[in-house]
Structure formats: C-alpha cells, structure tokens
Structure 1
Amino acid sequence: MTNELIQAQFGPRAMDYVRSSVYARGESLGALLARLQRDPIRLALDIATGGGHTALVLSPLAKRVVASDITGPMLRVARDWLAENGAENGLFCQHDAGLMPFPEGTFDVVTCRLAPHHFADVGAFLHSCVRVVRRGGCVAVIDNVTPPEPLAVRFINAFERLRDRSHNFEHSLPDWEAFFSTAGLRIEHRQQFRTPIDFGAYCDRMSVPERTRTRLRVMLLQAPAAARAALNPREVDGRMTFDLGELLIVGRRAAR
C-alpha cells in the first residue's frame, strides 16, 4: 500500500482517531504498559503513533519518547494530545515505518500499535525495528490478528479492505511468530485480546458510504463459520457490534 494512500486516508481523519475509544483505551494498551514497566527506559520510539496514545503511555516510563508517523496531520494531533495530557518529553518525527532515520541501537524500546496491517512489508518494518533498538532492547507490537484458518484470514482481510483501502494485510499469530523469529527477535510474551467494535463508529471513522456499509453489514451476518466465530457479530443496546482480535507480541534483540 502506498504512503500516499495512507496519508490520504488518515490525514483528514486524524482528530477522529485521537477521540476514538478503540485507540485511546483498550486492554492491549494496559498489557503493553505492564510489560514495559519491567525495564528502565531512557529513549523510546513509537512508530505510526497515530493519535499518540501509545506515546502517552510511554511518556512516564521514559526520559524521552519519539513519536513518529508517515502522516503530518497525525503527528500534529499527537503532539497536541501529549501536551494536553501533561507529557513534556515527546519528540516528533515524520517517516516511513520501514525507513527509520535513526542510527543503529538508538532506542531502549520500540513500539507500534494497530498499524502494521497497513504496512506493505512487515518483515522490512521489523528488521528496521531491530536495527534501531539497542542490543538487549525490546520491540513490542500490537496489531489486529486473524484466526489461523485460511478462509477466515481471507474473509476478514476482505472485510477490512472494503472499509479501508489503505488496509494491506492482517496476519495470524503464527505469521507474527515467524516475522519476529526471522528478524532476530526472541519472543518473550504473546497475548491475544478481543476488542468490541461499534459497527457505526467503525464505518464513520473512514467516512464509509451507505452502500458500502450495507455490504459490510451483509458480510458480517453471512460470514463463514471460522470468520463468524472470530468477528462475533451481535446487537448491543440496539447497535450492531462485532469483535476484532488483537495481538500483543514482545521480543528482545540479543544482548550480543
């Protein structure tokens, strides 16, 4: 997926993502915080920071947090979000997630949350993470995750791509384990979550037209068994709701 399309999709909607409860809160964000509290952090990098929610969580743990994103409007709202919440140790950098403009071994921790499904080359992204994290440092990724069944993988990705043209590919846990291993990261922690998603808000964030919303609604209700079990479509207080899987996976670069 081209950076131009990602910027076109997310730039005009930057403020919507700052305000979104899916991004601002969530069980996976708390689990990430619990993992990262174990090590002293001098300098942290949050890639594809979006609204800056993960950077804000990192802020009290680190002396400095670099929040980066390919989209300029996202960086501006992230800067404002950190300032609004009293975080004064943030730095901001615009760059491609696979082309990080930092020397080798710069950071103690590198994070990325709910963004890799937009990346054209997850392997290149992780190799860049390993390059810029110090030896013995930590790389932590949170992203949407599919079940391992091939039909469910194809269906859920088709569903996500219909709603958002910048969606590239949502991987399974075995995929992520292979990515981390190939990049040279020793996996220390893996944890899966199910996040309830309000269908209307999900569509509103991408300004999905009504005709496409109807197609998405039909896909949810007619999903094949493995995909339906993962998406779990249902009504909550009269509103269509479904689940998206999330994965927190944490790995460490070898100390030497």
Structure 2
Amino acid sequence: MNLTNIQNQFSDHAETYVQSPCFATGESLDKMIELLQEPEINRALDVATGGGHTAMRLCSISDCVVAGDVTVSMLKAAREFMTDNNANNVSCCQHDAHMLPFPKQTFDLVTCRIAPHHFTDVLGFLEEVVRVSRLGAAVGIIDSCTPIQLSAARYINAFERLRDTSHNHSYSCSEWKGLFYEAGLKVEYMQQFRKTLNFQAYCDRKSISGLRRTQLKVMLFQAPEAALKYLNPRNINGELVFDLQEMCVVGRPIVG
C-alpha cells in the first residue's frame, strides 16, 4: 500500500469524510450491520475506519470495538466523532491493513468499509483478517465494485484514480468471491448496491481542481457503452449526478 500517498490524501480531508453523508449512512451499511448482529460479540475490529461511522455502528452490537486506520488525523477525527456520539466502548489503533497488530483469533467480528480499493494486496489483507478472527467469527466487507467486463472495469478504475491517486483497484463481485475463497473465507451473503453521487460533492471532498473536474466530466459522458451504462451520468434539478456500485459481502473463516 502506498502509505504516504494515502496518508496525505486523507490527512488533508479528515473532517470532510466524517461529515460526508455518503460515508455516514448507506443502504449497504444498514444491511451489513443487520447481518452481523449476533447474541454475543465480545470484540469487534473495524479496519480502515475512516470517519468512524462503521465502528460507531458496531458499538451497539459488540462489547468492545477497535477502530483502526493508517492515518493519524483520520483516527483523531473518528475518535472525536464517536466521543461526541457517546461511544464509550471503542478504542483507536493506528495500523496498516496488511499487517494487523493483533494476536491470532482475537476478534469475534471484523469489518472494513469503503477502503479495500486503496489496498495494494487485498488478498493479503483478507488473510490477515482470517488470522485475527476467532473460529466462527463473522467478516463483513463493503467496497466499491466494478462490472465483470474487463474494459468497463478498467475505465471505471481509471476514472476513480484520476480523482484520487490513492485509489488502487475496485474488484467485481465475482473477483471478491474468489478473493474470499483464496483467503479461507466462506461467503454467506453478497449483494450489490447502487450509490448515486453528486458530482460536485464527489470532487469537493478531494479539493479537485477545475481542470481535473473537466477531465472527469469528459470521462463520464464519453465513456464506452458498458461503462456509460454503469456510471449513468445525468442532471437532476440542475445538478450533475452519476452512479457507482458498492458490494457488501459477509463470510466466515472456513474450518478445516
């Protein structure tokens, strides 16, 4: 993972991510939390917590929550957000998602939301998740996803990377199933969700320059057919909006 690039990108916009509605809420987040609720969850880990929104939700279903992130300023912003919302059973830890600083079989639940597309080794990350998960633990991942068509996937990843140089790669749902299997996780649930984004807010969150915004607009409207159908750029009430897709996958370590 290009840690310096990621830390620079998120250090400059930490509070923006805490306040962003598309990170604070979401149909996919609600569904994941619903699926992860179990009678007894003692310890939960949220990897790459960002603004702390997922960790905040975990506080209601787990006795103890660890919110981890590689960027110190993000952790500070997340901690302040969670403290302001009376989350008293959460602690914060700076760490790289590829090297989780916890012993084997520590957690009953591990989550990671809207972050793996920044990771350079998603399989390695998932293997670390399996290592720190107890037998029978649940693993919930939400991330941006791409179509199965390779050309469309490449185009959408290029679009995302133009806006955010710390973006590495978004995978298709099929690829995520393969990654889970390779890491030793059995998929119990997978669903794709459409997320409609306001183009101006999408750019503002990263302080994108005027020239770069123009380039992104060109990519939206001149996309090849499969990518154009996926991105679906359009004007609503005078505002440019477009779609990205998210997938939610829940699984458990394979025993034996």
TM score, norm. by length of structure 1: 0.98
How many residues align? The count is 256
Q: Could you tell me which residue of structure 1 aligns to residue 191 of structure 2?
A: 191
Query: Superposed, which structure 2 residues align to 1:18-97 within 5 Å?
Result: 18-97=18-97
Q: Does 1:240 align with 2:225?
A: no
Deviations 1:98-124 (A, max 9, x none): 000000000000000000000000010
CA distance in 1, matches of 2:103, 2:61: 22
The match for 2:226 is: 226
Per the alignment, in what secondary structure is the counterpart of residue 13 of structure 2?
Answer: helix
Give 1:74 deviation, angstroms. 0.4
Give the residue type in structure 2 aligned to 1:51. G
Query: In the aligned structure 2, how far is the partner of 1:84 from the partner of 1:254?
Result: 38
Q: Deviations over 1:43-84 (max 9, x none)?
A: 000000000000011001000000000000000011111111
User: CA deviation digits over 1:169-205, x for unaligned, max 9?
Assistant: 0110111000000001010000110001000000011
Runs of 5+ consecutive residues of structure 2 not aligned to the other structure: none
Shift of 1:229: 1.1
Identity over aligned pairs, percent:
51
Where does structure 1 lack aligned partners over 5 or more consecutive residues? none
Amino acid at match of 1:107: F
Supply the AA of the counterpart residue of 2:129.
Answer: C
Partner of 1:108: 108
Separation of aligned partners in 2, 1:108 and 1:236: 43
Deviation at 1:38, TM superposition (A): 3.4
Q: TM-score, normalised by structure 2?
A: 0.98
Is it true that 1:159 corresponds to 2:159 in the alignment? yes
The answer to whether the aligner puts 1:209 opposite 2:212 as a matched pair is no
1:254 CA displacement: 3.0
Q: Which runs of 4+ in 1 moved over 4 A?
A: none
Provide the C-alpha distance between the structure 2 equivalents of 1:254 and 1:194, rounded to a whole number of angstroms. 30
Matched residues in 1 for 2:79 and 2:167: separation?
25
Query: Partner amino acid for 1:233?
Result: P
The alignment partner of 1:41 has SS state of coil
Q: Once the 2 structures are TM-superposed, how far is the Cα of residue 255 of structure 1 from its aligned partner?
A: 4.5
Distance in structure 1 (CA, Å) of the matches to 2:223 and 2:41: 44
1:120 aligns with 120
Q: Return the offset for 1:39.
A: 4.7
The residue identity in structure 2 corresponding to 1:103 is P
* Cα distance in structure 1, aligned partners of 2:133 and 2:241: 38
- Coordinate RMSD, CA, aligned: 0.8
The 2-side partners of 1:8 and 1:14 are apart by: 10
Give the drift of 1:237: 1.4
Q: Distance in 1 between matches of 2:245 and 2:220?
A: 15
Instruction: Show the counterpart of 2:130.
Output: 130
Say which SS state the counterpart of residue 45 (structure 1) adopts. Answer: strand
SS in 2 for 1:98: coil
Match of 1:4 in 2: 4
